[in-house]
Amino acid sequence: MTLVLTTYDWVPEFPRGFVRDIRVRWLLEELGRPYVVETVPLKDRTADHLARQPFHQVPFIRDGDLTLFESGAILLHLAEGTALMPAAQRPHVQQWLIAALNSVEPFVMAWILAKFFDKDDAHAARREPLVRQRLAQLQAALGDRPWLTGDDFTVADLLMADILRIPAQNGLLDDLHPLAAYAERATDRPAFRKALADQMAHWRAADEARAAG
């Protein structure tokens, strides 16, 4: 049965390219797994949506009989038994994937949301040193390795690199050359480019559907 990935029916410009279905699309492209995209309304969210994602968010998937929400859990499920979760590296891949979600993404999100939405610039400014500290620590931990767990690109790198796109695009990797190179190595992969193109095409189609009424 073809895997179903659910995202919103439409979003405004600013989150396009960053809606978290991107990380699921990216992994599915890496794995060569076909999938179809279904949507839930961004506005007027439904009870059916809530039944499948208890925080009324996206993404979530249906893989056969299994429905799964939380992008991290979805990535872990899909990567299991594949080259992106090498058996010998499994505990460390899981460790880094959870570090991405728990020790990096919250700092990045708190800072970027303050930067975009708080009228008072001081909120973002207060948070920026914490993000910079985490990024410098991440770079130090990466050391000379090409990827977080060694020589192989894994699902942990996929998620970490997706999260790093926000600080990268806002200049926070400008002085962290090895980390910037790591993030670029990941997002240069054809699977990411395809995933990004497909997500952007999804929003363009949504605009067209709206315009057509």
Residues that bind ligand GSH (CB under 6 A): 19-20, 56-58, 70-72
Which is closer to ligand GSH, CB of 106 or CB of 178? 106
Which is closer to ligand GSH, CB of 70 or CB of 128? 70
Which is closer to ligand GSH, CB of 69 or CB of 152? 69
Nearest to 148 by CA among 186, 175, 177, 195: 186
Distance in Å, CB of 72 to ligand GSH, minimum:
6
Distance in Å, CB of 57 to ligand GSH, minimum:
3
Which is closer to ligand GSH, CB of 52 or CB of 185? 52
State the Cα–Cα distance between residues 178 and 210, nearest whole angstrom.
43
Per-residue tokens: 109 = 């999100």
Q: Which residue minimizes CB distance to ligand GSH?
A: 57
Is 57:140 a contact under the CB 8 Å cutoff?
A: no
Distance in Å, CB of 22 to ligand GSH, minimum:
8
Which is closer to ligand GSH, CB of 39 or CB of 57? 57
6, amino acid identity? T
State the Cα–Cα distance between residues 148 and 96, nearest whole angstrom.
7
Is 41:9 a contact under the CB 8 Å cutoff?
A: yes
Which is closer to ligand GSH, CB of 20 or CB of 165? 20
Distance in Å, CB of 195 to ligand GSH, minimum:
14
What are the angstrom distances between the C-alpha of 103 and each of 97, 106, 117, 159? 10, 7, 22, 12
- The partner residues of 39 in beta bridges, in order of sequence, read 7
Nearest to 209 by CA among 8, 7, 9, 6: 9
Distance in Å, CB of 192 to ligand GSH, minimum:
16
Per-residue tokens: 38 = 């279904």
Distance in Å, CB of 137 to ligand GSH, minimum:
22
